[in-house]
Homo-oligomer: A and B are copies of this chain.
Amino acid sequence: MATKLTASPNSLLLQNPNRQHLLKPNSTTTFSSFSTQNKSISIRCATTSTAPVSPIPAQIQDPDRVFNFAAGPATLPANVLKKAQAELYDWRGSGMSVMEMSHRGKEFLSIIQKAEADLRTLLNISDDYSVLFLQGGATTQFAAIPLNLCRPDDPVDFVVTGSWGDKAFKEAQKFCKPKAIWSGKSEKYTKIPSFDDLEQNPDTKYLHICANETIHGVEFKDYPIPKSGLLVADMSSNFCSKPVDVSKFAVIYAGAQKNVGPSGVTIVIIRKDLLGNAQEITPVMLDYKTQADNDSLYNTPPCYGIYMCGLVFEDLLAQGGLHEVEKKNKKKAELLYNAIDESNGFYRCPVEKSVRSLMNVPFTLEKSELEAEFIKEAAKEKMVQLKGHRSVGGMRASIYNAMPLAGVEKLVAFMKDFQARHA
């Protein structure tokens, strides 16, 4: 029987995700006791037991929230959800919900324009790039990218470091001549190749990578330089988790539902000089030029999702921008990988250390027969969605931007307790 982590006053604190977001900015330093140096679960918190520090203090110690380690859709910042809740019925005195607004009315235009402006600030996106808010997920972009950038006979290079890169490669076969110039499949997608060893086609139209493989937990820490000059990256699962030099890329695309919003919004950042060359068979909704010429309003966009992304962008800026966000993400990931690596093999992460994802942490148990029990006990402790992807098994903890440090600390404490009981 697991120690009832949630039963103590401390673990009730731990149970509340996003408490950092709920605190006033100048209060966040009081959480130093949550650092990785403190491995005990008896954590003291200087502020939460005293005066209210948030506009919604009653929620700070909400014991009903779970820590949600889902790979996406994923946990969102509690303060963003609270704000969305407060204005769902009547958006800022407009007399209507964001869901009811004409996408061509001044209210929604102010929402989408601010979302774009804030994203441009976060990623320092220059005017040489269009920012599009589209639909259909990254999977739709797997088709749209070759349809917009290639003729049917154009060669394209793919570096395949996981299942998503492989799916992009396969979909591209309908619209160009892609080649997987490197694949990590035979090593179960645990590595990223040395860029010097890549045999790029000198005639390639672009080089495609998946910057972070959600299922396998493999993340590019730097980027290859493509022979064509055009680097295209699926950043769905690490978008806005750290600063990125957008100028290195021809196209960046990302489903929103990991780090920046709910599902149903896909963000595409594309160099403007690449617009206008879509193949004749391109559905109009997949033609980036049409979308760019219409500021993502060629037809009705996913308005509420874009609004939610805008709230998240505001929150990321309020946290100090992506450098600060990256620091938090590194701290969380370090804590979790250390717990795995220091378990004497009880827990194992198959991914090569230098390319381990800050976002998705896959791990297995040496005693694999205990994995179901691990997931079940964790769920009882209100840590949910820890099961690995159905294609790989084991466990996976997705620790996106909105997963609070406290969530990772609670998971690590649980892992140690579980190990002590089953080693």
Contacts and interface: CB of A to CB of B under 8 A. Distances in A.
A276 interface: no
Contacts of A78: 89
B143 A285 contact: yes
10 contacts: A64-B90, A70-B101, A73-B103, A78-B89, A88-B88, A137-B285, A174-B280, A175-B281, A264-B303, A304-B304
A102 interface: yes
Determine the main DSSP class of A at the interface with B.
loop
Interface of A: 59, 62, 64-66, 68, 70-76, 78, 81-82, 84-85, 88-90, 93-97, 99-103, 105, 135-140, 142-144, 147, 171, 174-175, 255, 257, 261-265, 280-286, 298-305, 308, 382, 384-385
A85 B136 CA distance: 26
Contacts of A382: 95
Contacts of A280: 174
Contact of A264 (B88, B298, B302): B302
Number of copies: 2
B283 A105 contact: no
B284 A281 contact: no
Given A97-B81, A103-B73, A263 B90 contact: no
Contacts of A175: 281
**Most chain B Cβ neighbours within 10 Å, of A76, A282, A283, A301:** A283
Contacts of A100: 68, 70, 73-76
A135 B264 CA distance: 7
Considering the complex of A and B, which 6 residue pairs feature the smallest CB-CB distances, nearest first? A264-B302, A66-B95, A143-B283, A99-B262, A135-B135, A70-B102
Contacts of A94: 66
A66 to B, nearest CB: 3
A410 to B, nearest CB: 14
B81 A88 contact: yes
A96 B75 contact: yes
Nearest to A258: B300
Nearest to A66: B95
Contact of A103 (B85, B263, B282): B263
A257 B102 CA distance: 10
A385 B102 contact: yes
A261 B97 CA distance: 12
A93 to B, nearest CB: 7
Contacts of A75: 96, 100
Contacts of A82: 89
A71 B104 CA distance: 11
Contacts of A299: 137-139
Nearest to A74: B100
A183 B278 CA distance: 29
A152 to B, nearest CB: 9
Contact of A99 (B76, B97, B142, B281): B76
A78 B303 CA distance: 18
Nearest to A255: B300
A376 to B, nearest CB: 14
A384 to B, nearest CB: 8
Contacts of A101: 70, 73
A413 to B, nearest CB: 19
B174 A283 contact: yes
Contacts of A62: 90
B262 A65 contact: no
Given A99-B263, A136-B140, 9 more contacts: A73-B303, A75-B100, A135-B135, A135-B137, A135-B140, A142-B283, A171-B284, A281-B281, A305-B305
A336 B82 CA distance: 40
A281 B211 CA distance: 27
Contacts of A302: 135, 262-264, 302, 305
Contacts of A298: 139
A76 to B, nearest CB: 5
Nearest to A282: B174
